[in-house]
């Protein structure tokens, strides 16, 4: 991993994001007047503004979803961090893009209203390239002149972790020298929020919005909807060494499974998630005792947190590493969470500091884990894991190790 680019509710620079999750500087707020979710939800995690015209031509910028805009900004930062220029440092046909996300649902909803009010002339000719789920990946390829394999997956909240795993697979197969991978999500609009709210999936009833996201806590009652994007640059080790690249970490292995159980509810015993954890360890060539920190998916839902805790216990047993979920500070960025949390886990690996689970005041006995709580934990570790689980029963676990082994 040679490049990291983030657009998150707690910042865009990796040190800024890491400081927030370690110090408990929460991004959770009541949506202010003028925001699309004002009066719609109790609390949200709102990302920073990104001017569409800073990454796109003016005509196209007018009808393009925020998810694409954030993805382009994160990709710019990731490639700059990697100090790599397509066409100069690498053959454009040897660069791949794997960029996931739901796509431009907000713009699609707006255009549906415009058509209802104005008829067919109310629909912009730029609508499709502004909203299709593959367009964040395509726009990155267009912006940076990337000519290799380009794809997008739709595995809900597991999509960010899956993009990292797919990138690793491409590199191992020798199909590319460099992969730009990640996920982008812009779900902060009424229709999407109401769907989660009516399903009783969102945190509610908290007088202080910063206390609403409570992973693994006995009083948790849902997740806090957030937005953001995360993009990583991964390279074949030999290619990175040959060009003298600075390396953040090694991607050692990954695992992906399906619960095969329910469209929204995880398998209660966590067996599908447990298998993804085991597969990631096996793929990385590691044992349970080698993992020094686990960044959990931990969204703050009753069923999800309990199932993940069961999975972690079943795999690690007495060798359980320190565990935390950083969504108590960042909120849940859906698929983008997996990439932002991968960056957090890698920074914990590099800095020897493990972030805590914010708002974990009263751990639920059903979530009996080796929690990091009350403040960050200083610990030198050699390998870390990040979990990402999504609606539909998608489970992904990724293992990272220190650069150079």
Q: Express each pLDDT in 273-319 by its tens digit.
A: 999 999 999 999 999 999 999 999 999 999 999 999 999 999 999 99
Q: Supply φ then ψ for residue 172, to 5 degrees.
A: -60, -35
Task: Quote the pLDDT of residue 128.
Answer: 84
Quote the tokens at residue 332.
């849940």
Interval 165-220: pLDDT, tens: 999 999 999 999 999 999 999 999 999 999 999 999 999 999 999 999 999 999 99
Residue 13 has pLDDT above 90, yes or no: yes
Residue 107's pLDDT band (boundaries 50, 70, 90)?
Answer: confident
Residue 228 has pLDDT above 90, yes or no: yes
Q: Supply φ then ψ for residue 392, to 5 degrees.
A: 95, -5
Task: Quote the pLDDT of residue 268.
Answer: 95
Which residues are tagged catalytic?
A: 157, 297, 332
Task: Quote the pLDDT of residue 208.
Answer: 98
Rg (the chain; Cα; Å): 20
**Mean of pLDDT over the chain:** 96
Residue 404's pLDDT band (boundaries 50, 70, 90)?
Answer: confident
Residue 30 has pLDDT above 90, yes or no: yes
Structural domains in the chain? 3-401 (3.40.47.10)
Quote the tokens at residue 118.
């104005």
Nearest CA among 71, 72, 68, 50 for reference residue 105: 68
SS3 376: coil
Quote the tokens at residue 26.
């929460």
Q: Tell me which residue has tokens 């790599």.
A: 84
CA dist 82 and 233 (Å) reads 7
The mean pLDDT of 323-336, rounded to a whole number, is 98
Helix axes 105-118, 190-198, angle to 10 degrees: 110
Please, are residues 26 and 358 in contact by the beta-carbon 8 Å criterion?
Answer: yes
């Amino acid at each position: 991993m040679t490049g990291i680019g983030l657009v998150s509710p707690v910042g865009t620079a990796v040190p800024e994001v890491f400081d927030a999750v370690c110090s408990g500087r929460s991004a959770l707020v009541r949506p202010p007047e003028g925001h699309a979710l004002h009066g719609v939800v109790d609390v949200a995690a709102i990302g920073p503004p990104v001017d569409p015209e800073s990454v796109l031509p003016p005509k196209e910028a007018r009808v393009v979803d925020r998810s694409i805009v954030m993805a382009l900004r994160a990709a710019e930062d990731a490639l700059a961090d990697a100090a790599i220029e397509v066409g100069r440092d690498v053959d454009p046909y040897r660069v791949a893009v794997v960029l996931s996300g739901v796509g431009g649902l907000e713009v699609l909803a707006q255009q549906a209203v415009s058509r209802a009010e104005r008829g067919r002339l109310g629909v912009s000719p730029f609508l499709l390239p502004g909203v299709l789920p593959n367009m964040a990946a395509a726009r990155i390829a267009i912006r940076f002149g990337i000519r290799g394999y380009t794809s997008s997956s739709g595995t809900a909240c597991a999509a960010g972790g899956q993009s990292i795993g797919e990138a690793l697979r491409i590199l191992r197969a020798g199909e590319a020298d460099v992969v730009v991978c990640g996920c982008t999500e812009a779900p902060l609009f009424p229709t999407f929020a109401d769907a989660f709210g009516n399903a009783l999936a969102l945190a509610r009833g908290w007088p202080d919005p910063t206390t609403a996201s409570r992973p693994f806590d006995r009083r948790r009652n849902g997740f806090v909807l957030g937005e953001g994007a995360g993009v990583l640059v991964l390279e074949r080790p030999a290619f990175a060494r040959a060009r003298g690249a600075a390396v953040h970490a090694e991607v050692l292995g990954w695992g992906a499974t399906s619960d095969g159980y329910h469209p929204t509810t995880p398998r209660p015993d966590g067996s599908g998630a447990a298998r993804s954890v085991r597969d990631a360890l096996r793929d990385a060539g590691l044992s349970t005792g080698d993992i020094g920190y686990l960044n959990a998916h931990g969204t703050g839902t009753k069923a999800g947190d309990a199932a993940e805790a069961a999975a972690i216990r079943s795999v690690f047993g007495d060798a359980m590493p320190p565990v935390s979920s950083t969504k108590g500070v960042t909120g849940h960025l859906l698929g983008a969470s997996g990439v932002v949390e991968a960056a957090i886990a890698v920074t914990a690996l590099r800095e020897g500091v493990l972030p805590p689970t914010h708002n974990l005041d009263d751990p639920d006995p059903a979530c009996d884990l080796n929690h990091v709580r009350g403040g960050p934990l200083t610990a030198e570790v050699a390998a870390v894991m990040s979990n990402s689980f999504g609606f539909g029963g998608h489970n992904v676990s990724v293992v990272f190790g220190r650069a150079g082994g």
